[in-house]
Chain A
Amino acid sequence: MAFAEAMRQINPDVVAAYPITPSTEIPMKFAEYVADGLVDTEYITVESEHSAITACVGASVAGARVMTASSANGVGLMHEIFPIAAAFRAPIVFGLVNRSLGAPVNIHCDHSDSMPERDSGWIQIYCEDAQEVYDTALMSVRLAEHPDVLTPVFVCQDGFITSHCYEPVDFLDDEAVTEFVGSREPRYPLLDVDNPVSYGSFVMSEHYFEIKRNQMEGMENALRVCREVSGELARITGRDYPPVERYRTDDAEYVIVIMSSAAGVVKDVADDLRSRGVRAGCLRVRMFRPFPSEEISEALSGVKCAAVLDRSASPGGTPPLAAEVRSALYTSCCAGNRMPSPVQSFIYGLGGRDLYPGDVESVFEGLSRGEHFLAPRYIGLREGTGGEERGGR
């Protein structure tokens, strides 16, 4: 709802959306705004998510400001079009309400829908609460449309946990939002019939590489522009959103790295442990693409041990956030900094399973005991006594 309210205030030119739980409330609420004449938007009620994102791309290259929302299998169906949107430098702002990707079908939160899109060329921002969703929606319009960026943005929030909870949100006045987001100035609008351009060419090997590298430049600039835009919003609201949130990490010996709503639990447990003399901290990664490697390696530079909690898996490989964190630390080490501290990988919360304070405390305890495992471990998973008795090995 916070995202829908931001959409009303942003008053985008075009919204094309298709219902899927748990993002449905966004297009539903927005349809009411359209029906009540509260927005000037052309609202396209498409027949699939694939058409939703395609219509968004068409409208965006036409020159319009465009927003949409989806979840889970809807995001999966859109997959083909995401890299096209990014390559077209179409600054679409997308409310991605995280939900597990079937099968089996499950409507609750994990990050298995957005993580497969991490290489699609979209900026990915993971929000902790509804206030952050609202603020990020406003900032993302500016970030996506910035001439140095021109890259679409996923504003991710945890399905049901964040999307359907009741919590106080501080909204700006409509006028303040209008002024903050400004108007889009498209560079090559398709509708400019006097200066015709073609989008989506057939490109052979002799030019493809250069075009893709050109596209990546927008992503390269996104961290800088994000800081600028965030700073600008902070001057109005007092709420600043750096790419990573460092919660009591400055002198921490043990740090848990996590994204989105479950960070709250980790922060609570860190507070509790600190009252008991354990120097615990939480590093919440807000921006996943582009990945703020330097901030993360800097924040973890003094810790004894860290754990990365992923809400999605990469079967056969390292879970996505853990892989990025380890890579950041290795890169930092190569740059002459000290050897990185051990990083333990955990998978939690698949299919909406809650993360409990006791779970987090166990992770911190493991870190303080110096436990380290090469393979990712699972949190909150019912596990039997082992494979041997069942005729395994």
Chain B
Amino acid sequence: MRSVAGVNMKNLTSHRNPLVEGHRMCPGCGAPTALRQAFMGIENPVVVVGATGCMEVSTTVYPYSSWRAPFLHVAFENAGAAVSGVEAAYRVMRRRGEFREGIKFVAFGGDGGTYDIGLQSLSGALERGHDFTYICYNNQGYMNTGAQRSSATPRSANATTAPAGRVTPGKLQRAKNLTEIAAAHNIPYVAQTTLHDPADLIGKVKRAVETPGPAFVNILVPCNLFWKIDPADQVKICRLAADSRFWPIYEVANGEYRVSYKPKGQTPVEEFLRAQGRYAHLFKKGSERRDLIEQAQSEVDADWEKLLAR
């Protein structure tokens, strides 16, 4: 833990994190943890751009800001475009010798602001090659507005706009694979991870930021309210996501795939699902949906094989 993959935790405790205390995220939310860990690996000064969402709202409740670094929020669907403008301004102004050297640019959004409404502006920014890192804190739904389904919501999850009812068992469609979509832009660095191991997350964002050009990091974070879990269990749930291969931990550096975590043993996806209230309807006595649980397992298995073959 103290020194994994070049990350020395002890040295990091003196690091001044751009995201400070006093934000209004729910107790035990994974999003601020993900972003704080992300920033731990960045030694340079940063400028942060956030898409509308829980993190943006809860860190900027007027007249306070939880950002020690400069922070910009424009709207929901355009963090990619906003960071493009800031980064372009920096390039031209640095040529004139203005502002500090070595500023890094980090944009973030939830899955709603990244997979759905913000995908176009993100894609544009990735294609244009701006030097920035985009972090998606992916809690698999629209949490800021009350747990609606997004294109990141997995099949069978109970969401407020895809509820588990008498006829339909939660969301009917699979989640979009945004990490692969990002990789298809042929950008230098793409990764996905979760909160199972801070060293993995810190290391990935560090590589993302230090790689010139655009980088994309997709971080699975639980939303305690939507996922219906005990806030204290957050890390446990993230470990289940990684161990069950539901959320493969890997990176794509300059087109080269590397699986960063190959779980020992075979944790069934069922364990990950069963631990969360959003799948409770699959396990209801008398109307258990073994078919959907098995489908989830077979989809995870197929994705894992595909990933290993890359």
A residues contacting B by CB (< 8 A) are 13-14, 16, 40-42, 44-48, 50-52, 54-64, 66, 80-81, 84, 189-194, 196-204, 207, 211
Q: Which of B60, B71, B89, B124 contacts A51 (CB 8 A)?
A: B124
Q: Are A51 and B81 in contact (CB under 8 A)?
A: yes
- Closest Cβ of chain B to A215, distance in Å, is 14
- How far, in whole Å, are A198 and B127 apart by their CA atoms in the complex? 27
18 of the cross-chain contacts (CB-CB < 8 Å) are: A13-B89, A44-B88, A46-B84, A47-B120, A47-B127, A48-B121, A58-B72, A62-B90, A63-B93, A63-B98, A64-B93, A80-B75, A84-B74, A191-B86, A192-B70, A194-B100, A198-B65, A201-B61
- Closest Cβ of chain B to A53, distance in Å, is 8
Q: Are B88 and A14 in contact (CB under 8 A)?
A: yes
B245 at the interface (CB under 8 A from A): no
Most buried by B among A45, A50, A66: A50
- How far, in whole Å, are A80 and B76 apart by their CA atoms in the complex? 10
- How far, in whole Å, are A202 and B53 apart by their CA atoms in the complex? 10
- How far, in whole Å, are A192 and B73 apart by their CA atoms in the complex? 16
- Closest Cβ of chain A to B86, distance in Å, is 4
- Closest Cβ of chain A to B289, distance in Å, is 39
Name A57's closest neighbour in chain B (CB-CB): B74
Are A190 and B72 also in contact (CB < 8 A) when A58-B89, A63-B89, A198-B65 are?
yes
Point out the residues of chain B lying under 8 angstroms from A55, CB to CB.
Answer: 81-82, 84-85, 88
- How far, in whole Å, are A202 and B123 apart by their CA atoms in the complex? 26
Q: Are A193 and B85 in contact (CB under 8 A)?
A: no
Name B123's closest neighbour in chain A (CB-CB): A47
Name B24's closest neighbour in chain A (CB-CB): A202
Mark interface residues in B25-66 (1 if CB within 8 Å of A CB, else 0). 000000000000000000001110100000011101111010
Point out the residues of chain B lying under 8 angstroms from A191, CB to CB.
Answer: 47, 70, 86, 89-90, 93, 98-99, 103
Are A207 and B73 also in contact (CB < 8 A) when A54-B85, A81-B78, A193-B99 are?
no
Point out the residues of chain A lying under 8 angstroms from B121, CB to CB.
Answer: 47-48, 50-51, 54
Are A61 and B72 also in contact (CB < 8 A) when A13-B89, A46-B124, A193-B100 are?
yes
- How far, in whole Å, are A50 and B117 apart by their CA atoms in the complex? 12
Known: A198-B72, A199-B71, A200-B56. 7 other contacts (CB 8 A): A60-B85, A61-B86, A64-B89, A66-B85, A191-B47, A196-B67, A198-B73
Q: Are A58 and B49 in contact (CB under 8 A)?
A: yes
Q: Which of B70, B95, B98 contacts A196 (CB 8 A)?
A: B70
B195 at the interface (CB under 8 A from A): no
- How far, in whole Å, are A12 and B73 apart by their CA atoms in the complex? 23
- Closest Cβ of chain B to A231, distance in Å, is 30
Name B82's closest neighbour in chain A (CB-CB): A58
- How far, in whole Å, are A192 and B98 apart by their CA atoms in the complex? 9
- How far, in whole Å, are A44 and B128 apart by their CA atoms in the complex? 8
Q: Are A51 and B84 in contact (CB under 8 A)?
A: yes
- How far, in whole Å, are A14 and B93 apart by their CA atoms in the complex? 10
Name B44's closest neighbour in chain A (CB-CB): A193
B308 at the interface (CB under 8 A from A): no
Total of A-B residue pairs, C-beta within 8 Å: 169
- Closest Cβ of chain A to B148, distance in Å, is 19
B69 at the interface (CB under 8 A from A): yes
Q: Are B92 and A14 in contact (CB under 8 A)?
A: yes
Name B127's closest neighbour in chain A (CB-CB): A47
Q: Are A204 and B62 in contact (CB under 8 A)?
A: yes
Point out the residues of chain B lying under 8 angstroms from A46, CB to CB.
Answer: 81, 84, 124, 128
Name A15's closest neighbour in chain B (CB-CB): B88
Q: Which of B62, B74, B91, B99 contacts A58 (CB 8 A)?
A: B74
Point out the residues of chain A lying under 8 angstroms from B85, CB to CB.
Answer: 14, 16, 44, 54-60, 62, 66
Most buried by A among B83, B85, B99: B85
- How far, in whole Å, are A123 and B297 apart by their CA atoms in the complex? 58
Q: Which of A51, A81, A200 contacts B80 (CB 8 A)?
A: A51
B200 at the interface (CB under 8 A from A): no
Point out the residues of chain B lying under 8 angstroms from A58, CB to CB.
Answer: 49, 72, 74, 81-86, 89
- How far, in whole Å, are A190 and B86 apart by their CA atoms in the complex? 8
Point out the residues of chain B lying under 8 angstroms from A13, CB to CB.
Answer: 89, 92-93
B111 at the interface (CB under 8 A from A): no
Q: Are B60 and A201 in contact (CB under 8 A)?
A: yes
- Closest Cβ of chain B to A61, distance in Å, is 6
Q: Which of A51, A194, A203 contacts B62 (CB 8 A)?
A: A203
- Closest Cβ of chain B to A54, distance in Å, is 4
Segment 164-219 of B: residues with Cβ below 8 Å from A: none
Q: Are A54 and B88 in contact (CB under 8 A)?
A: no
Q: Are A190 and B80 in contact (CB under 8 A)?
A: no
7 smallest CB-CB distances across A and B, nearest first, come from: A58-B85, A47-B124, A55-B85, A200-B73, A51-B81, A62-B89, A64-B89
Point out the residues of chain B lying under 8 angstroms from A196, CB to CB.
Answer: 67-71
Are A40 and B71 also in contact (CB < 8 A) when A48-B120, A55-B81, A62-B85 are?
no
Most buried by A among B65, B84, B89: B89
Point out the residues of chain B lying under 8 angstroms from A81, CB to CB.
Answer: 74-75, 78
- Closest Cβ of chain A to B143, distance in Å, is 15
B77 at the interface (CB under 8 A from A): yes
- How far, in whole Å, are A201 and B66 apart by their CA atoms in the complex? 11
Q: Are A54 and B81 in contact (CB under 8 A)?
A: yes
Q: Are B84 and A44 in contact (CB under 8 A)?
A: yes
